[in-house]
């Protein structure tokens, strides 16, 4: 969580820093701050609340420094306040630090520093960092140009936890030092200037050339140079990576919100995900070369992820089990990692993470790897942490997703997982070719079918207007309709703050039906012709008890007796969530708008959960 930006060049740093922070607000937005160096002094300005609140600070527009660091916060230690905002300084005001992550042993370090006479002004874990750097800097009696680097290196040795840290120092006013461990950070290379950010989209309008940092690397940036060191301060070389995303992909491009833009981008995103994979013959997936023998040796596949990504995994379970006849377990990363899961070399573990930076998912992957399983990461971000840990990495290529509530990442994950299922199935030859070929064709039809749904959104909008004041809603479905209902319910909670639950329709009678009373809203998804009769009976049971039902069905499904029905194009039930989720996304979106909420930055949430 938290977003950090840095700049060193010949331009005024503050507008670049604030602009970068605004693009990183999805990572946290309860306070923000910047620091620059001017006239031998580090100037820090910070404020509680959104990044835009920085503009309320006296003198913010007068900062002329051409080197600076900046931070937007998602509070972990210490409530959101000006004092707890970053940057934090050491007691002598010689070092300023911004930090993303958590220092787990900060109490111990703080006590050690207090004993040595240091004073603390905030309740954060971060404040130990500038003071530790200062402490080691003062201890070091050699005076050469690596003195600050040595102090940073010693500090990092003491830190337990995760961090991406940017450091400014008055002892070297033309350099910035950066270090990361288990927290994202990229360096953007410019001409006579260099940029830093927690992610690529925030600085995409300045450069397309990036260095991706590995854990424990220390970087020294000047205007013309980027020097990389390993943890023993030995200089190392790193390749530069050119990113193909256009700068516009990180802009709203005329849409009111990023979420709406990303909903409408889904046809394009899925076309990119599919790429040429289904064009001819058997599927090849770049980055993957699993053999028939290996796949035959498997007795279980685990799919592990958090939030929306986990919901995409639930859809894929049905596909992989059906096409490959291998048992698939879907698990929440934070549960998997603490449960001693039964994983060995006969288990393939698939990890899904849009950002590729989710702490629990990465830890779950490392655990499976240590138990001898092969690991496969599915991410949207090239070079993200998870892809560097996994044995194999494949990408959704959905383009940057900025809104906290995930939309296009979900649909592209479902599509890629289905393609992966087909890839396995073609090697395993356990089902008829026709089943596979039909599914391939159905996947290829998805983008135009989504376009069809998006042509007219009035019905969903009107229903949202009718029910936006409600306190509780229920989602029902069977099979993949249940899997997608979980995602619909999550979207509603995330951006409209309406309590909602999703139930497998067959479970209704085992408890939840007790909650159904007059005028309760139920969103019932019924797209599978084989299950529809049973689902309709369940819907009738809630209608009889007074529920208002908004049904999402396929155009080939009869829906006698239901007044509010949205029809989606017919497709294979294995991938129908890619279509049925669209009205659900729009439903949450319109409710959120109706309530006047901030769709892109819902309260308490952050897009990338880089802490446990």
Report the interface residues with ligand G6P, using CB under 6 A: 306-309, 353-355, 358, 361, 404, 406, 605, 607-609
Nearest to 280, CA basis, from 446, 448, 440, 449: 440
d(CA 605, CA 600): 10
Are 552 and 480 in contact by the 8 Å Cβ rule? The answer is no
d(CA 88, CA 105): 18
- Token pair for residue 590? 């319109």
d(CA 259, CA 401): 8
Nearest to 412, CA basis, from 275, 573, 282, 286: 275
Rounded to a whole number of angstroms, the CA Rg of the chain reads: 26
- Given the complex with ligand G6P, which of 113 and 309 has the nearer CB atom? 309
- Token pair for residue 144? 């050469």
d(CA 252, CA 168): 32
- Given the complex with ligand G6P, which of 177 and 303 has the nearer CB atom? 303
CB contact set of 528 (below 8 Å; sequence gap of 6+): 478, 479, 480, 481, 535, 573, 576
Bridge partners (DSSP) listed for residue 44: 35
Residues in the chain: 612
Are 75 and 148 in contact by the 8 Å Cβ rule? The answer is no
CB of 406 to ligand G6P, least distance (A): 4
Q: Please give the order of strands across the beta sheet that includes 499-504.
A: 499-504, 472-477, 521-526, 548-554, 564-568
440 is a catalytic site residue: no
- Given the complex with ligand G6P, which of 159 and 605 has the nearer CB atom? 605
2 is a catalytic site residue: yes
d(CA 526, CA 539): 10
- Given the complex with ligand G6P, which of 90 and 401 has the nearer CB atom? 401
Query: Which position among 2, 156, 306, 349 bears the catalytic label?
Result: 2
CB of 390 to ligand G6P, least distance (A): 13
The 10 Å CB-count burial string (b at 16+, else e) for 24-49 is: bbbbbbbbbbbbbbbeeebbbbbbbe
Q: Which amino acids are annotated catalytic? A: 2, 607
């Amino acid at each position: 969580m938290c977003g950090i930006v840095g700049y060193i060049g010949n331009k005024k740093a503050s507008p670049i820093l604030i602009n970068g922070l605004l693009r990183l607000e999805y990572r946290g937005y309860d306070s923000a701050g910047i620091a620059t160096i001017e006239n031998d002094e580090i100037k820090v300005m910070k404020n509680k609340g959104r990044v835009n609140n920085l503009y309320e600070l006296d003198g913010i527009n007068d900062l002329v420094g051409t080197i600076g660091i900046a931070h937007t916060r998602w509070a972990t230690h210490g409530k959101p306040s000006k004092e707890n905002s970053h940057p934090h300084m050491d007691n002598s005001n010689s070092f300023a630090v911004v930090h993303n992550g958590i220092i787990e042993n900060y109490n111990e370090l703080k006590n050690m520093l207090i004993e040595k006479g240091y004073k603390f002004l905030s309740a954060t874990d971060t404040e130990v960092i500038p003071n530790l750097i200062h402490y080691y800097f003062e201890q070091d009696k050699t005076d050469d140009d690596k003195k600050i680097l040595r102090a940073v290196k010693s500090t990092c040795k003491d830190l337990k936890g995760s961090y991406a840290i940017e450091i400014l120092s008055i002892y070297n006013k033309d350099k910035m030092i950066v270090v990361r461990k288990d927290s994202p950070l990229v360096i953007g290379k410019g001409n006579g200037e260099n940029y830093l950010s927690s992610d690529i989209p925030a600085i995409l309008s300045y450069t397309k050339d990036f260095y991706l940092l590995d854990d424990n690397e220390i970087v020294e940036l000047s205007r013309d140079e980027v020097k990389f060191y390993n943890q023993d301060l030995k200089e190392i070389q790193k390749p530069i990576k050119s990113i193909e995303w256009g700068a516009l992909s990180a802009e709203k491009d005329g849409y009111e919100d990023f979420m709406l833009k990303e909903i409408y981008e889904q046809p394009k995103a899925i076309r990119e995900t599919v790429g040429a994979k289904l064009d001819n013959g058997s599927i090849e997936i770049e980055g993957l070369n699993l053999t028939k023998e290996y796949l035959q040796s498997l007795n279980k596949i685990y799919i592990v992820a958090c939030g929306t990504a986990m919901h995409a995994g639930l859809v894929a379970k049905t596909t992989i089990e059906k096409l490959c006849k291998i048992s698939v377990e879907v698990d929440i990363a934070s549960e998997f990692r603490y449960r001693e899961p039964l994983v060995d070399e006969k288990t393939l573990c698939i990890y899904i993470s849009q950002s590729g930076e989710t702490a629990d998912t990465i830890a779950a992957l490392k655990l499976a790897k240590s138990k001898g399983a092969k690991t496969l990461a599915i991410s949207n971000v090239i070079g993200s942490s998870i892809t560097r840990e996994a044995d194999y990495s494949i990408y959704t290529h959905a383009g940057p997703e900025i809104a906290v509530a995930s939309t296009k990442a979900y649909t592209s994950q479902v599509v890629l997982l289905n393609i992966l299922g087909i890839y396995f199935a073609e090697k395993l030859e356990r089902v008829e070719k026709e089943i596979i070929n039909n599914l391939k064709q159905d996947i290829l039809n998805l983008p135009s079918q989504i376009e069809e749904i998006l042509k007219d959104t009035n019905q969903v909008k009107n229903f949202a207007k009718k029910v936006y004041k409600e306190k509780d809603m229920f989602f029902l479905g069977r099979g993949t309709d249940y899997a997608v209902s979980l995602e619909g319910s999550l979207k509603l909670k995330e951006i409209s703050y309406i309590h909602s639950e999703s139930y497998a329709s067959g479970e209704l009678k085992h408890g939840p039906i007790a909650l159904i009373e007059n005028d309760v809203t139920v969103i019932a998804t019924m797209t599978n012709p084989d299950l529809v009769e049973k689902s309709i009976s369940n819907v009738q049971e809630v209608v009889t008890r007074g529920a208002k039902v908004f049904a999402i069905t396929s155009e080939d499904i009869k829906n006698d007796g239901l007044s509010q029905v949205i029809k989606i194009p017919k497709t294979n039930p294995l991938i129908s969530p890619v279509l049925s989720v669209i009205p659900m996304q729009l439903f949450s979106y319109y409710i959120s708008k109706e309530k006047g909420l901030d769709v892109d930055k819902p309260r308490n949430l952050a897009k990338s959960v880089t802490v446990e």
